[in-house]
Amino acid sequence: MLWIGLHCLPAGAGEVLPAAAGLPEHQVLVMLHIPPSHYRPDVNYAGRYGDDGAHAARRRIAEELARANGLMLVNDWPMPALGIDCYVMEDPGGGSSAHLVELLSRDPRIEWAQPMSRFHTLGNDPLYSLQPSAKYWHLDDLHRVATGRNVLVAVVDSGVEDQHPDLAGQVAVKQNFVDGNPYAAEQHGTAVAGIIAARGGNGVGVEGMAPGARLMALRACWQEAGVGAECSSFTLAKAMNFAIMHDVQIINLSLGGPPDRLLQRLLDAAMQNGIKVVAAVDPQRTDGGFPASVPGVLSVADQESGVLPGAFGRRVLLAPGRDIPTTAPGARWSFVTGTSYAAAHVSGMVALLTELRPSLSSAQMREQMTVIGPANDGYAGAIDACATIGRITGNFPCLSATAYASKPAHSP
């Protein structure tokens, strides 16, 4: 399993294990092929297979594989977006996942097997004037043109406090892919959600980049005191499969970790279905980390950190990510810093552009992004939101945009 910037535990149709059980280095993911007819539009794939009798046969195969290799079958989940069932297996004796993958990959019944990996997170109303986006991206002016109205954004993250005063009514769907406990509101997911879609003009807190957007709050990560949030490749995959099957338009991934075949396949499936994927750059990795380094993903770094070297750095988008006021659990607000929050700004911006030009692909949208050169307040390569809106619509909503209207976009 992979764990991304948030700490999440495997959970699903099988037994749910407590957070401390099962280290990822002793777990593997095993994929078995499912026939196309497995997915039915009348079945909710949030957490169970329904009455799919064919699954029972595949589970027996998985149990046989586990027994034959001295493993314990921990969990399983249908992923019709890829045409597979995903099984979590663990070596109770503590064997390495690399050795387990080698053994299992020899069996012709298995489509593929891979290690379990970790990912980690990367961080007009009273606080409106303190928002960098209010100053540099001229939110008041942008929102006269677009608010992201009815654009569906999946926040694949830790839990979102959907009853927060700035988020009440903004969350259309919430699902827990971490465990069998009630959905939990947590710091990181709530902060990301607020930056994207906090309600505007309600007299409290902050205003999101796209207050007209609808959020799908998919809890694939869990928060732990003092260590941020974590997620696994299994929990992330379940959430991404759900997002793809429920026709989201944007997926926000404010997290990073090692390359992962299952998540790569889901990213490819999402982009092939026209879904725009926004991911945070890992500032500790020269290649930006996974999933930010995946071609086609809109990769975002903090605009004060500068562009990464090389070809990847030339396609990174820069957005506000330092000292950002946003929503926090307990009906509170707090200041956050990190590329996670820069990515959330771009997801909100993409929601505005999607409302205005829904037919634009992710690549076309990236090509239309106008960026500000180093002469502007020192923000090299930062997005000029006003000029970008003007370039796409022909209507420049901000006076400051005229200074950059003639500048070419920096294409990847």
CATH code for the domain in which residue 64 is found: 3.30.70
Catalytic annotation present for 85: no
**Least confident range of 1-5, 103-107, 257-261, 380-384:** 1-5
103, 226: one domain? no
* Residue 368 forms part of a structural domain: no
pLDDT in tens, 320-337: 988 899 999 999 999 998
pLDDT tier for residue 220 given thresholds of 50, 70 and 90: very high
* Residue 314 forms part of a structural domain: yes
* Residue 174 forms part of a structural domain: yes
Q: If you write DSSP's letter for every residue of 298-332 in order, what string do you get?
A: EEEEETTT-PPSHHHHHT-EEE--SSEEEEETTTE
pLDDT tier for residue 312 given thresholds of 50, 70 and 90: low
CATH code for the domain in which residue 266 is found: 3.40.50.200
Identified catalytic residue from 120, 188, 345, 410: 188
Greater confidence (270 vs 314) lies with 270
Catalytic annotation present for 76: no
348, 281: one domain? yes
* Residue 408 forms part of a structural domain: no
109, 127: one domain? no
Identified catalytic residue from 125, 157, 282, 384: 157
* Residue 4 forms part of a structural domain: no
d(CA 252, CA 221): 13
d(CA 105, CA 96): 14
Q: What is the mean pLDDT of the chain?
A: 82
Rounded to 5°, angle at Cα 245 from 118 and 267: 40
* Residue 398 forms part of a structural domain: no
- Helices 233-245 and 261-272 pack at an angle, to 10 degrees, of 10
Residue 99, Cβ density class (10 Å: 0-12 exposed, 13-18 middle, ≥19 buried): exposed
303, 218: one domain? yes
Query: Residue 265 in 3-state DSSP?
Result: helix
Q: Which two tokens stand for residue 335?
A: 């200041």
Q: Which two tokens stand for residue 166?
A: 């700035």
d(CA 185, CA 162): 8
pLDDT in tens, 3-58: 343 323 233 333 333 333 345 678 999 999 886 544 444 445 444 545 466 778 89
pLDDT of residue 412: 36
* Residue 366 forms part of a structural domain: no
pLDDT of residue 24: 67
Q: Are 370 and 383 in contact (CB under 8 A)?
A: yes
Q: Which domain holds residue 59?
A: 24-116
CA-based Rg of the chain, rounded to a whole angstrom? 21
Query: Residue 342 in 3-state DSSP?
Result: helix
pLDDT tier for residue 65 given thresholds of 50, 70 and 90: very high
Domain count for the chain, please give it: 2
Of the three residues 81, 116, 151, the one that is the final residue of a domain is 116
* Residue 30 forms part of a structural domain: yes
Identified catalytic residue from 299, 340, 347, 362: 340
Catalytic annotation present for 166: no
